[in-house]
Amino acid sequence: MKKKLTKSILRKEAKIFAEEISKIEDKYLFNINDGKSVGTYVEHKLQNLLSKKYKYEKGNSARGIDFPELLVDIKVTSHKQPQSSCPCKSANQKIFGLGYSLLIFVYDKIDDNKAQKSRLNILHSIFIDASRTGDYQLTSSIKQILENDGNSDDLIALMRDKNLPIDYDIEGPIIAEILLRDPLNIGYLTISNALQWRLQYGRVIQKAGKIKGIIKIR
């Protein structure tokens, strides 16, 4: 009988996985420098490992994330430019977070030309709780306004200054009301406006293990 996968178990398995995959030399990866291909390779390896031991629902393109029951998505990125993309569902994601947690693997790919094999050295494995997946600059600015006894007008003016892709007359007051009513967590991603969000992880790598909700796995 397989055990049910939980976030806690996922983090423990991710640590073991990162240590093990960092030792493997694989011909498949040799001369492959496309980040998407490397990411798919890592994700499949981890899913295959987990599916042998645990019971859980696998994600698919319709549901959008790798572990829909746990609300966790895997992101794999090179240390040279630690970033990835994700679907833009709502501008609110920059303020309130993506709506799910991230399990990030940051790698250095080492090619052995003589053996024609490659090794992925996992430099960082980080778990970012959903509450910390907002945009750092925007959430920090909102926090500052709220601490300075700011009001709805101040918040909407900030949204305009940051070019948040919303209807300022309709959505702006609704977002401002929520911010004035409920506590806001500062996010630690850098999220660029685009048809797909561009997530950058430099700050997350620096803060892993130092901020609640940003867990350093490896």
Q: Angle formed by the axes of helices 7-21 and 35-53, to 10°?
A: 120
In contact, 135 and 165? CB cutoff 8 Å: no
Q: What is the rounded CA–CA span in Å between residue 83 and residue 106? A: 9
Same domain, 118 and 129: yes
User: Structurally, how many domains does the chain consist of?
Assistant: 2
In contact, 212 and 13? CB cutoff 8 Å: no
Q: What is the rounded CA–CA span in Å between residue 115 and residue 173? A: 61
pLDDT per position as a tens digit, 2-43: 899 999 999 999 999 999 999 989 888 888 888 888 999 999
Q: What is the rounded CA–CA span in Å between residue 102 and residue 133? A: 8
pLDDT per position as a tens digit, 170-182: 999 999 999 999 9
Same domain, 209 and 148: no
Considering only residues 194 and 212, tell me which one the structure prediction assigns the higher pLDDT: 212
Same domain, 163 and 107: no
Q: Angle formed by the axes of helices 152-161 and 136-147, to 10°?
A: 160
Q: What is the rounded CA–CA span in Å between residue 99 and residue 82? A: 21
pLDDT per position as a tens digit, 127-170: 999 999 999 999 999 999 999 999 999 999 999 999 888 899 99
In a domain? residue 51: yes
Provide the residue range defining the domain that includes 34: 3-83+100-133+191-216
Main-chain phi, psi angles of 56, to 5 degrees: -165, 165
Same domain, 39 and 109: yes
Q: How confident is the model at residue 195 (pLDDT cuts 50, 70, 90)?
A: low
Same domain, 211 and 107: yes
Q: How confident is the model at residue 63 (pLDDT cuts 50, 70, 90)?
A: low
Same domain, 71 and 168: no
Top mean-pLDDT range of 81-85, 103-107, 188-192: 103-107
In a domain? residue 26: yes
What is the model's pTM? 0.91
